[in-house]
Structure 1
Amino acid sequence: MHRMFRGAARLAAVAGLAVSGGALVAVPPAIAGIGFDTGLVCSGKSGTHDVALRIETTVPSAGAVGQPVQLGTIKIDVGLPPELVKEVSAASPAWASTPPATSASPSSTPSPALGGVAEIQVALHGPGGDRRAGWPAFALAATPSRGEGAVHLTGSGVAPPVVPEAPGELSWSAGAVDLSLVPGDAATGKEAPELALHCAAEKAPVLGSLRVRRANEPVIPGASSAAPRQPTAFPEGLCKLIPARGQDPRYAISDDPELAKIFESPTNPDGLNADTGDGLMYCVKATGFFNIKKVGNAAPVAFENNVRALTESYMGNIFFGPNWTDFRGYFINRTYPTPATMLGFGFMPTRAVAEAVQVGSPRGGGTGPITGNMRILQQLSTELDISGPTVDRQQLKASAYVRIKAGKAEVNGVPLDLGTKCMTSPTSLSATGFMGTLRTGTTQYESGQPLIAQNVTIPSFSGCGVTEDLSPILTASVSGAGNYANLESGLWCEVTTGNRCVDGAGAFPQTFTVAPGGVVTAVAKPFTLGYAGDNAEFRCESATMRLDLERGRWQSRFRLGKGDMSLHGCEVEASDGTVHPVRGEVTQDGSLWLNMTIDAATGRPAMRINGVVLDATVDVGGGGRCTLRISHNLGGIFLPGQREVPGLLEGSYDNGTFSMNSHTLKPSGKSTCEIPGFTDFLSVFNSYKGDFVFHPTQRITSP
């Protein structure tokens, strides 16, 4: 059992600051109080003792599937009999005169010189079975005597949120308790022997319970509302207009060498038409997690980005190429300074606030732009075969300078004053957003994208503390290289027109939860592609996709899974009625990628399988064979579609079944077959069937 000393407590607090950019959950407005008393039978080297335990917290009155449920602050009171207190003091008589240290209010009766740690085994019971609730260890401090003979130690902490995966009742029950008691104040930094006790509860009753409803079930009037669908709640007012190009020198593309690196690679090809303008004004929300290497922890973060995009544009020609666009602009990144709770040094509850404050280039001397640089690279068209160089990998790049500012902090409920000027020196922050390839599926920048910032350096802190300088402790705790951020942005709100906006601001990112995940198969029986009224049909007894899905929450909707596909028992019927058998299995050429979104009309999950290229060997009679390839084809404005590119399947996903309702598949220009009905490389198959049943069934929901 570890004990927390005063210096370590400060270290835990400041470590918590740098990993606390946003709150993971919000407490619903309707809550019920829990007050539970039980007796414990505790045994150790000192013998057996009767100990009293009281637990107080609050629990929401209701919850919803897929949405976090958060208990309120947990307060515990451990009542020790006088003989047990004597045993602890006898372990080190020198400690008997140690002045008490407690956060309790002043009293004429001093607090006993006693402290410790309590660990309570709490079980979580739900429709999916029982598991440990993961309650923290509680640092205990003695309270002033209540005149009843017993000595009371109190502590508080915050439990991690619970995300129900099925409707029903959710409840908590307390079991065994481990106590570690020390004479004096464990926060003074002096070493003292501890007395360890293992305690069994007289009973293990339910501490509290709530009803979990389905995600789409209406909320009963008066019941609690659902918790937010994103890791962090967004206050209002951070979506703001920033000056257009040329209106204010503080708002412009920066020529700082570090920030300008995003324009160096890839190099733009010749033949692009350059243009400048005011730029389009966007507000973009982004949420995710920032990972601190030294602490070995990740904290939720949230941003509102005010973006002036397309102040500079470099575009190819749709007739003559290249298939290239390079949009440039600038932005201001505003961080939501929301508190978060973590456990410092394994068990000390630490609640802190931090934010990233965007600043101008340190080389600018205070006169250069305060904005960051942005570059958007995407194809001029993903549906036309345009000559010349092309953007193979669509992406967004952004770079800026920020300072990390530390704010309010509490250690086990005790405030730690860092002052108002606790922050780092400027550091550069560069992020890349992947917007897809023709294989994985592409998206345009306004649709949002995942963002990755790698190898972020946290500089040294300064100005931390009021009565003493805490900057060196903070620097030693979290400063250094090797940190990274993983974010997801929502639809880009075009402020001046209101397009894609929600209440005048950017929309929350669409993220998904996958369970149970792992390697899955999705089988359609049968699978057919054909032309209605023409008799031409490619049909198989079955089509099997094998996909690797990662279990987890808050996952990006792009590239949610990867896999391959094979088709069995296939044949090709020509438009003249001739049936040609397919030799062996039909194979998939290259990887498949699974992407998700929410259908705007129905509000239900929609699935897209990108990267489809099927290869079949067909017997055409007389010992002859040919290759039938099925994919998507691109053509120029004046030329028919001959260039093979991967196709896609899309449709609804409900109750473990992907039902195909659209696709882009055609006979490929690379086919060697001349089977009637399969030589038209321009027309998509207009008759199709494919309902893929997932095994094991996957729950794919948003969030």
Structure 2
Amino acid sequence: MRTPYHRAGRRVATARTRLRSRTAVRAAVAAAVLGALLMPGARAADEERRIAVDLAYTCAFPTGKRSVDVTVAARLPATGAPGRPLAVEDVTTEVTLSAEAGAELAALSATEVTATTRLAVALAQRRHRADVTWEGATEGAVTVPAPGSEDGERVRLTAAGPVPVVTPGDTGPLTFTARALAVDLALRTADGAPAEPPTLALDCTPDFGRAGRLASVDVRDRATAAPPAPSASTPVPGPGAPDGPQGDAAPDADTGPGRELRAEPPAAPGAPADTAPPCVGDRTDPLALVAYVTGYANAAKQKAAGLNRLSCNKIVDKWKKIVPKPDGLHLVQHATGELDWQGKRMMKPSPATFLTYGFMPTTATMELIQTKTMTIDSDILLAKSTGVTYVRVPLVLRLTDVEVNGVPLDVGPDCRTVGSLYSKDPDPAQDTKDHVVLTGILKGRGDGYQLITGGVLTSTVTIPPFSGCGVGEDLDAVFTSAVSGPGNYIKQVQGAPCASGVARPDPKYCTPELEPKDVPKPQR
């Protein structure tokens, strides 16, 4: 479900660098496993230092804009060398919501909140620019203080996760600058049920319309370099400070020749063209629907996303009923679904192509295989046309066709996760860690997700360990260490379905062959 793509550099290594060492090859292959996932950094030998930078952001809440304090901390080298990866490790993004923002969560009856964060970070070295995303997730739920408590309504959320390895291609200061921040909140009430709404997606901008410098690493030729003193990080400048890449570049930036700055996984200029596969609905079942789905995994808004190619989902709308509840009449709906790719229960295979360590091109094919029936459960308040839909689907990740610098690497026919990718289920009785839960929110009539109209579904998933990887050599640990883990964001889009089983399928939604007319585009 989402692999990253890379802006092609001006040059890559020649055949002399193809298999420079067994360790490098393994690391390159592991990075290709799920391009959308961020590879944990390899430790650099340079002197390391800790940074902790306080930043001010403004986030868009449902009732208006709120001030948010953000502290970004990390461990990174003080110096580096061209062509050598720089590891940025132990990255945390602490988001402290104001008392007003905390009170807004409490007003939604939320007593617990979990968060995932996506911080856009701009890299600059001389004339070279690159964008990466530092993603993180809270380890567990954080209590929302009750109004009038000792700490007011302030909510502190600390998200952590691995971030891309950066490979400078030139000498000179390499700067890291924070830009836009996205925070996705999952809200729960005291009884463990989802709040209303169950999620909030916050888009946050740095104050004063620009970003804040996080750190600078001095990159020098090791033959002549003397280790400099660690550079100090600076807070967000006040009004009037220069904006954009020019303002963030190092003081000695120039336009002379040099190799391009790279990050693994790399940024992508855009998704490749994708064609809709065959997706013919069932003519015999009057409750049959068929719809296209697509999207991104680890959908970072600053080009660190991997595409889920257009796939077919065959759905059966099992039953609907009207249920009276204290706030009015609800439409409760249950459906099942089966992915279909050439007769198999899986999504259309997705290729991953990028450069690792700044010189080693790696490709692989990713398959997401459905192992049990998908369920789709909706609860819609009819008077307001608001509600929530949960799509539960068990998906195993399988890898094939792995190549490193054009050289095939035989991972065998059964290199896959030991079980399904999984996410926390809002129903405690179903929280069995053996399926993904995608959530669709209906905010009002025509605004949001409904099974019969389609829309956006989101989730944050954990990738299990890998097994069965390698022929003649056990590569399980390599794939597991580089890919498996929590906090992987998914943004999926379902198109409007074709009701293929009814007596007269609507030509607005169905082709004459009973395929869906709505072919959705992926959204970041």
Class of the TM-score when normalised by the shorter of the 2 chains: 0.3 to 0.5
**Greater strand proportion:** 1
What TM-score, normalized by structure 1, do the two folds share?
Answer: 0.33
Which protein has greater RCO, CA pairs closer than 8 Å, 6+ apart?
2
